[in-house]
Amino acid sequence: MTASHEQQPPTPARRRTAALAAGTAAALGLAAVSLAGPASAASTLTVAKDGSGMYTTVQAAVNAAAAGDTVSIAKGTYQEIVNVPVAKTGLTLKGATGNAEDVVITFDRAAGYTDASGNKFGTLGSSVATFSANNLTVTGLTVRNTFDKDAHPEITDTQAVAVTAQGDRQTFRNDRFVSRQDTVLNWAPSATGQHRQYIYSSFVTGDVDFVFGNATAVYDRVNIQLRDSGAAAGGLNGFLSAPNTSSAKTYGILVTGSTVSSSAAANTYYLGRPWHPTSDAVGQLVIRQTSLPAAVKTAGPWTDMSGYSWRNARFFEYRNTGAGAGVNSDRPQLTDSQAANYTAQKYLAGTDGWNPVG
């Protein structure tokens, strides 16, 4: 990227004009709001690899954006790490075509890779896109971590996050999140804080703990793909989820009205296991009214993690269907009355009644 490709957006100029107008109005004893009002409108910053937009990288546009702005990204593959900081409240990132397969943010990064100082990136540092701002909207994008553990046998920390969502009131619609281990991290920087994320009508794929974290997250009408790692029937291909919800929180992760698909052999996937990195982590996850494939271990789809029993976690199902569905003593089910309290709206309402559902 060269400086000549990075044109400056009109927003700063408009703000300077607004400031001058406000000062003039004050000097004349007039109401400044009537002069400064139009400058407060949100801006759209455009990104295109070929230089036809205002920026050639997504991060450059994010850096220049003000809270409430929109970053519109043209068709293309953008090889970069993207960070949307806390200050960019209300930002929208959208693929310009509306088709998530057209607009791809991608990078090869793993927890075991090291930085220039020789320090490992770790799980959080392996993320291709980190979204920290509240009231964020991401739509029409693919975020892909291309780390290949088979190509890097020297790397033992193989977590490779595509997306870290760690803000409140974040909405992801019509997106694609692709990796293998730890694809989407739904994260609450303060374990007991209010951090809610809504993933709707999207696609998520992985093989190990690829929906995980301690935030409150809803996966609504999402296509979740369990990748085939080659295990024979009855063996182990992976684990869909690994929540580590604080025991102080009622709601962790909900998968509802979705489709879990897989070409993997029968009985090779667990639905989840409880990540227990702290004493107060008691994973909470419900999968309800969702189609499950034969790849799911029907006799017992939950398993222990690092010596912590899944039975101590809060794992439930409700009215699931498909070859991987079933009801037995190792598959706790919600009753109809309980299920009424474990809906997308209930998970996301929080203390302010937020309802982005549908």
Q: What SS3 class is residue 82?
A: strand
Residue 40 pLDDT: 60
Residue 21 pLDDT: 37
Residue 4 pLDDT: 34
Catalytic (active site) residue 228: no
φ and ψ of 302, to 5 deg = -115, 150
Residue 65 pLDDT: 98
Residue 10 pLDDT: 40
Q: How many CB atoms lie within 10 A of CB 123?
A: 20
Catalytic (active site) residue 352: no
Tokens at residue 147, please? 């780390």
Domains of the chain: 11-39 (no CATH), 40-349 (2.160.20.10)
Residue 41 pLDDT: 84
Return mean pLDDT, the chain. 91
pLDDT per position as a tens digit, 235-287: 999 999 999 999 999 999 999 999 999 999 999 999 999 999 999 999 999 99
Residue 164 pLDDT: 98
Residues with pLDDT less than 50, the chain: 1-39
Tokens at residue 195, please? 């951090």
pLDDT per position as a tens digit, 181-222: 999 999 999 999 999 999 999 999 999 999 999 999 999 999
Among 69, 168, 175, 182, which one carries the catalytic annotation? 182
Triad 246, 251, 253: Cα angle to 5°: 95
Of 231, 237, 315, 303, residue with least CA distance to 269: 237
HEC secondary structure over 226-249: ECCCCCCCCCCCEEEEEECCECCC
Among 175, 207, 209, 220, which one carries the catalytic annotation? 209
